[in-house]
Amino acid sequence: MLRNERRPIGLFLLLALVGCFTFANTAVAQKVRVQTRAFTPPNLSLSADPKIITVCEGPAIVNLHAAATSDYPISYRWTSNAGHIQGDGPNVAWDLSGLQPGYYKAYVDIDTGSGDAACQAFSSTAVLVNRCAPPPPSCPNVGIECPDRVVLGEPLTFRSTVSGGSPNITPIYNWTVSAGRIIDGQGTDTIHVDTSGLAGQSVTATLSMGGYTLECSATCTVQFPVPVLCKKFDEFPAIAYNDEKARLDNFAIELQNDPTATAYVIVYPGRRGRPGDVQKHSTRIVDYLVNSRGINGQRIVTIVGPARDDLVVELWVCPQGANPPAMAP
């Protein structure tokens, strides 16, 4: 008796992997059932923080973050058209130090390792590099050297010192004075000032530096002392001796009130006078002041003036520090 025999047949199905699809084989009860799972291509986005950066001194770092999704492990490859990218993986640092202002790009490629283009992705981002803001304007250090010697009637010299401040600026020297007159040097670092008629006054020199957007100035003040001048106390012709003594008494009182003052006795000879008249009057006046009024002889100076029509005597009191009296012609 013939019997039909059924032999199990193992069916092997060779499946071609196309793109990024995978197949799972399952044999159930002598039948082959194939399950297919679709693969989603990777997603990728790239962000930069910050998007705008100002490059001055020191490091200028931008943080790059690649947000990617895939069913398989991801590898990252970073490039840029400038600067240096530091690190690996989805988060890296982009060093833009020292670059000129402008837009710069960073790129990232990801790959799942299949070698198929459908399993790869690419993205880029741009960052703006701004020029470092210029430093705020600043005044130079402006100073004025005041004259250390102040003499009435002699020019004063004011000299400036300028250093520092905003670079690449040509300074402009603008001088003003509160009294007197600038003789020369306007527009330069040194001026000379006429001091005629400034006795007892102060002179303030002000230097304003032009060329800067700020008010850059300096001042210097010198004081002229109140002049110490001789004072003519009396003047008389050849008079009787008793009248002369009365005048000398008052003169002596004035000298006693200021023990530091000097007495000047100026005798102007008369053109028609007799020889010896000048010596006679000078000796008589000094003798009376010293011996009768107690004035120290060292405080008395006698001077012979130019001849006049008639003999004239002038009595002067000169405070300490005053110049001798000027004789009239």
Q: Is 227 exposed, middle or buried (0-12, 13-18, 19+ CB in 10 A)?
A: exposed
Q: Are 23 and 34 in contact (CB under 8 A)?
A: yes
Closest alpha carbon to 197 in 154, 231, 158:
154
The pTM of the full predicted model, rounded to 2 decimals, is 0.47
Q: Are 197 and 173 in contact (CB under 8 A)?
A: no
Say which residues have a Cβ less than 8 Å from residue 233's Cβ, sequence separation at least 6.
250, 251, 254, 315, 316, 317
The two three-digit tokens of residue 120, written as one number: 């790869």
pLDDT tens for each residue of the chain, 329 residues long: 334 444 433 333 233 333 343 333 333 334 445 455 556 677 888 999 999 998 877 788 999 999 888 777 888 999 999 999 999 899 999 999 888 889 999 999 988 776 666 678 889 999 999 888 777 888 889 999 999 888 878 899 999 998 888 888 888 899 999 999 999 999 999 999 998 888 889 999 999 988 877 888 999 999 988 878 899 999 999 999 999 999 999 999 999 999 999 999 999 999 988 888 999 999 999 999 999 999 999 999 999 999 999 999 999 999 998 889 988 77
Domains and CATH numbers, the chain: 43-131 (2.60.40.1080), 141-223 (2.60.40.10), 231-318 (3.30.1330.60)
